[in-house]
Amino acid sequence: MAEFDVVILGGGSGGYACALRASQLGLKVVLIEKDKLGGTCLHRGCIPTKALLHAGEIADNTRDAAEFGVKAEFKGIDMPAVNQYKDGVISKLHKGLQGLVKSRAVTYVEGAGKLVAKDTVEVNGQRYTGKNVVLATGSYARTLPGLEIDGKQIVTSDHALHLDYVPKSVIVLGGGVIGCEFASVWKSFGADVTIIEALPHLIALEDESSSKQLERAFRKRGINFELGSKFTGATKSAGGVTVTLENGKTFTADMLLVAVGRGPTSANLGYEAQGIAMDRGYVLVDNKCRTNIPGIFAVGDLIPTLQLAHVGFAEGILVAEEIAGYNPRPINYDGVPRVTYSEPEVASVGLTTAAAKAKGYDVVELNYDLAGNGKAQILKTAGSVKLVAEKNGPVLGIHMVGARVGELLAEAQLIFNWQADAEDVAPLIHAHPTLSEAMGEAHLALAGKPLHAHG
Ligand SMILES: Cc1cc2nc3c(=O)[nH]c(=O)nc-3n(C[C@H](O)[C@H](O)[C@H](O)COP(=O)(O)OP(=O)(O)OC[C@H]3O[C@@H](n4cnc5c(N)ncnc54)[C@H](O)[C@@H]3O)c2cc1C
């Protein structure tokens, strides 16, 4: 039996970040992974989807080239070549990560592990015991009762990332982040796309104004969507998949992407058997990612916090520092930046207007339209920077829509996390002409001294 300071089960964003930080702090670490180091984000999530979205952007730019006076002809998508590009990016990052884990002297074990005692994980008949155990087994793509995934006509994001052709038509079930990103990619690649969402808006967790702007932009791009009606069933035929909704409407397409959320990977892993408190499969933790069992921690998509890679990184680091005795500050989840990487992008940090009001703040709002921003005009993008602030107080939330606005989050999250007032940001000079000027202009306007703003 091998003895460690930290035994980590799962080598995705949460697990490997914990391993790297713990070894940096001098702890003896074993990282156990049954598939590929890097997990969902690297192999089936963030990286491959963003590579597809970038290929989609190039397709759109080629189609629209004449608008910029450039002669170019869009001849179509070579899906095998797109996949080669995407897989090349993944492979490079995967090799880099493997090297990093090796260089930090983390013991890496390949195989499916199970928690067999409060301090022990068993893999391939071998037991690894630690003073601390970190559960980081991540999540899987959910489906709905009666909706069987066949990997061909009815697929999840895992299958959608490996298609070697562009479907003529797709129904995307679920208008959350993953659904909207795939809808955006496929539209750029030339497919006919319809999103079906039971809630009243796309990306319903975002500020309502962002959802509405995305809906407007998608409508303009010819992406269809049906909001506020529940899915009741799907039938397959040679002609495709037909989806029926509660309102009686039916939609038929070549393919159905099921993007209804992700559930925690926790079944049959020994968690309940060891007495770990759980809720609907999620492992419950406190603000230091500690479970109810002393010495057992959990991070990433396995716990009911935001399912984002950078949240997994932060939780992994937090746990490593907690174990090493550094007493780290708990994560403020409101301060986590969020991006939907569709065309246009939607990015936010902090509270929505509705959430700020629900918390009892006296809220003021400021909307800066990208129509007044030079770079946005150069890029021919529409959108806005919306500020939610406490009256005579700090900025509580920043919500943006437009091409490349995800890149503006770095500043937005400093403003939110440092609890800046509009008057603190207004004097900061933003380079001209950049999209970041919209951030400056929004704060100038909120501070009562608008520059390039009408009204
Ligand atoms: C299509 C898609 C797009 C996404 N895009 C983004 C994005 O742009 N930005 C963003 O921040 N997030 C994005 N995400 C979310 C992000 O991928 C996850 O939040 C992140 O991967 C969670 O990390 P994790 O370590 O908790 O879990 P995972 O990354 O799922 O890692 C868990 C690991 O545990 C392993 N494992 C499971 N059970 C066992 C076992 N019994 N023994 C050994 N190993 C085991 C798995 O093989 C896996 O490698 C996206 C997700 C998807 C699906």
Domains of the chain (ranges; CATH) run 2-141+263-333 (3.50.50.60), 154-260 (3.50.50.60), 344-446 (3.30.390.30)
Q: Which atom of ligand 1 is nearest to the CA of 36?
A: 49
Buried b / exposed e along 69-107 (16+ C-beta atoms within 10 A): eeeeeeeebebeebbeebbeebeeebeebeeebeebebb
Q: Whose CA is nearest to atom 38 of ligand 1?
A: 137
Backbone phi, psi, residue 102, to 5°: -65, -45
pTM of the model: 0.97
Residue-level pLDDT, tens digit, the chain, 455 residues: 679 999 999 999 999 999 999 999 999 999 999 999 999 999 999 999 999 999 999 999 999 999 999 999 999 999 999 999 999 999 999 999 999 999 999 999 999 999 999 999 999 999 999 999 999 999 999 999 989 999 999 999 999 999 999 999 999 999 999 999 999 999 999 999 999 999 999 999 999 999 999 999 999 999 999 999 999 999 999 889 999 999 999 999 999 999 999 999 999 999 999 999 999 999 999 999 999 999 999 999 999 999 999 999 999 999 999 999 999 999 999 999 999 999 999 999 999 999 999 999 999 999 999 999 999 999 999 999 999 999 999 999 999 999 999 999 999 999 999 999 999 999 999 999 999 999 999 999 999 999 887 76
How many CB atoms sit inside 10 A of residue 291's CB?
23
Q: What is the pLDDT of residue 1?
A: 64
* Residues 6+ away with beta carbon under 8 Å from 346: 203, 206, 210, 213, 214, 339, 340, 399, 400, 401, 405
Separation between Cα atoms, residue 201 and residue 183, nearest integer Å: 15
Q: Whose CA is nearest to atom 7 of ligand 1?
A: 46
For every residue of 2-41, DSSP letters joined together read EEEEEEEE--SHHHHHHHHHHHHTT--EEEEESS-TTHHH
**Eight-class DSSP state of 65:** G
Residues lining ligand 1, CB < 6 A? 9-15, 32-35, 39-41, 44-46, 49-50, 112-113, 136-139, 157, 178, 265, 269, 300-302, 307-310, 312, 341
Q: What is the pLDDT of residue 455?
A: 62
290 burial type by CB count under 10 A (0-12 exposed, 13-18 middle, 19+ buried) = middle
Q: What is the pLDDT of residue 2?
A: 72
Q: Whose CA is nearest to atom 20 of ligand 1?
A: 309
Which pair of structure tokens corresponds to residue 164?
A: 């070697």
For every residue of 277-332, DSSP letters joined together read -EETTEEP--TTSB-SSTTEEE-GGGSSS---HHHHHHHHHHHHHHHTT--PPPP-
C-alpha pair distances (Å), 219 with each of 49, 64, 215? 22, 17, 6
Q: What is the pLDDT of residue 67?
A: 97
151 burial type by CB count under 10 A (0-12 exposed, 13-18 middle, 19+ buried) = exposed
Distance from Cα 37 to the centre of ligand 1, integer Å: 10
Separation between Cα atoms, residue 196 and residue 192, nearest integer Å: 13
**Eight-class DSSP state of 404:** T
